[in-house]
Chain A
Amino acid sequence: MTSEQPEGAQQPTASLDTTIWAEVDRALSGITVTPEAGVLDLIVTIPRDEVVRGLRALKTDAALHFDYLRCLTAVDQEADGIDVVYHLYSTTSKHNLTVKTNLPNDDLFVDTATTVWRAANWLERETAEMFGVRFRGHPDPRTLLMPEDMDDTFPLRKDHPLAEIEILQGEGMGYTEEDSE
């Protein structure tokens, strides 16, 4: 097994036993995987070079059969780059799985998952325009919700200004910086 245990993982490894980690580990043999027991579902982190290969393995695995892409989105981790998050579901085995991959800030791209599920098409378009993540090999890389010419600013990134509303909120609710800590 090539999977490695993360150093200083938040959850104790024992709690992984109650999840489907053993099966996922078997399906993803040969791929670097970092598991973590989430609040509801198992979370696995895969390096971006291998993530689409891993997703396809999870879909084609006979026992797990993750044939349904619930959600695809990204989380801006500021200095730590951007996480792309896939929420998978199996209509046959009723399992849930969260797959994450981290992209460094200076090189935001990942292979497209549209080759695995067609559901990824619009979700990737939305993630691309909101976070500036490039999905390599996407069949239709147009904007989805944003205007066509709005390709230089990414609204859901943490550095995108929403200052006026935050000031308004802070004054209206009597918040200080300590409150938001």
Chain B
Amino acid sequence: MASEMLPDEEYEVQDLLLNVGPQHPSTHGVFRMVMTVDGELVKDVVPYIGYLHRGAEKLCETMDYRQGIGFMDRTEYLAGHNAELSYVMAVEKLAGLEVPERAQWIRMILCELNRLSSHFMFMGAFGIDVGVFGTPFIYAWREREAIIDLFEEISGDRMMYAYFRPGGLAWDVPTNFVQRVKEVLVSSKTGIKDFDGLLTDNEIFRARTQGIGYISAEDAIDYGMSGPSLRGSGVPMDVRKDEPYLYYDQIKFEVPVGKNGDVFDRYICRLEEMRQSVSIIEQCLEHLQPGPIMPERMPRMLRTPPGEVYVRTEAPRGEYGVYLVSKGGNRPYRLKVRSACLSNLQPLKQMSVGQYVADAIIVLGSIDIVLSEVDR
């Protein structure tokens, strides 16, 4: 550092304020952080969010329960099915709706497929953050495209599905659904293998990611982190395992955890999670039987009795919670979306201080933020 090499009395040493974003490719969206740098070392980070705030919570208060589904897709646009799931489950809990078995299995398959597509997106974008330009991104998009094509065949949309309904699903899946899922799984397995070979044992990749952006298990819990970002620090917390929803209690799967709490462990947790998701989907396909996808007696206008519920599910980025307060009637009195990324982003300063500027970008990438979910 300059201050060590040159005597202070002759040269005044000054910290530099470095503004990153809000429009910058490496911030994964509209995110701004002001870094105080001493040479190449980060001394302070002040994040600024809110550029994408659209007031989704307030808007949902003005709409009936079925109209709110679309807004959930738009908060978490890389894992729309998972976001919808929390919302429709919250409405179901309040209204006391029983969801048919077939609908639950289909929901599970779609949520896990969405986890795969979301993690593929992470792999590609993270590769670029680290500096492996091009190849992983194109690999990731190849596999993600196959999954998104399947979602389009089912729901009619590539990202904003609005396919789940309180009580079940909007309509049944196409007749070739099982066949198509199996095809997608084959390509996903190839993709996971490709990433394993391309990144995991790559010496440069390891040198860039190991020991960077450390956060301890205690700190991660205290900051309310969740998902792979928390499990990378060695906390085996997964809503699917701890408080099983859908039929996760009937499925065998493991919760991968890291040891060191660094960027590499957060990456490897996601990679291992993708293998688990493939296994979960394969088991779900065995359970899938023909049957109804909506309860027999559904009111034309769905109303809920007064009450409140906080439903949490494990989305690809962590815990996606929906706090729904009803005072009766057909619309929420208050709807709060608990964003996993917002809580994961809080310790950014702690993880980045003392690192190089280029590594701070990797730390940000390893949290896998979706700014649309952070700002809502």
Contacts and interface: CB of A to CB of B under 8 A. Distances in A.
Interface of A: 38-41, 43, 67-71, 73, 75-76, 85, 87, 91, 94, 96, 98, 117-119, 121-123, 143-147, 155-156, 160, 162, 165-166, 169, 173, 179-181
Interface stretch (B177-185, B250-258, B305-313): B305-313
Given A96-B310, A162-B61, 10 more contacts: A70-B312, A70-B319, A75-B333, A91-B235, A144-B50, A147-B50, A155-B58, A156-B57, A179-B301, A181-B328
Given A68-B221, A98-B310, A180-B329, A121 B346 contact: yes
Interface string B297-309: 0000100000111
Contact of A40 (B237, B311, B325, B334): B311
B243 interface: yes
Majority secondary structure, B binding face? mixed
Contact of A156 (B58, B62, B223): B58
Contacts of B59: 162, 165
B223 A75 contact: no
Interface string B316-348: 000101010100111101101010001101110
Nearest to B52: A145
> Top 5 closest A-B pairs, CB basis?
A119-B224, A145-B50, A71-B338, A39-B309, A145-B53
Interface in B220-235: 221-224, 235
B336 A73 contact: yes
Interface of B: 49-50, 53, 55, 57-59, 61-64, 93-94, 219, 221-224, 235, 237, 242-243, 301, 307-312, 319, 321, 323, 325, 328-331, 333-334, 336, 338, 342-343, 345-347, 375-376
B247 to A, nearest CB: 18
Contacts of A166: 62
A165 B62 contact: yes
A69 B53 contact: no
A149 B101 CA distance: 51
Nearest to B350: A118
Contact of A73 (B61, B235, B323, B330): B323
Given A75-B325, A144-B50, A166-B62, A118 B222 contact: yes
29 contacts: A38-B307, A39-B309, A40-B93, A67-B221, A68-B221, A70-B319, A71-B310, A75-B333, A87-B323, A91-B235, A91-B237, A117-B223, A118-B346, A118-B347, A119-B346, A122-B342, A122-B346, A123-B342, A144-B50, A145-B49, A145-B50, A145-B376, A146-B53, A156-B58, A160-B58, A165-B62, A169-B62, A180-B331, A181-B329
Contacts of A160: 58
Nearest to A168: B62
Contact of B50 (A75, A119, A146): A146
B49 A76 contact: no
A40 B50 contact: no
> Which of A73, A98, A165 lies at the interface centre, i.e. has the most chain B CB atoms within 10 A of its CB?
A73
Contacts of A123: 224, 342-343
Contacts of A94: 242-243
Nearest to B309: A39
Contacts of B55: 155
Most chain B C-beta atoms within 10 Å of own C-beta, residue among A94, A118, A146: A118
Contacts of B319: 70
A38 B309 contact: yes
Given A94-B242, A119-B346, A145-B375, A68 B224 contact: yes
Contacts of A173: 64
A76 B334 contact: yes
Contacts of B334: 75-76
A25 B39 CA distance: 54
A37 to B, nearest CB: 11
A156 B336 CA distance: 10
Contacts of A122: 342-343, 345-346
A39 B346 contact: no
B306 to A, nearest CB: 8
B49 A70 contact: no
A47 to B, nearest CB: 19
B310 A144 contact: no
A143 B51 CA distance: 12
A179 B300 CA distance: 12
A40 B307 CA distance: 11
A71 B321 contact: yes
A70 B58 contact: no
Contacts of A76: 334
B49 to A, nearest CB: 7
A119 B342 CA distance: 10
Contacts of B311: 40
B224 A117 contact: yes
A41 B224 contact: no
Contacts of B310: 40-41, 70-71, 87, 96, 98
Contacts of A155: 55, 58
Contacts of B375: 145
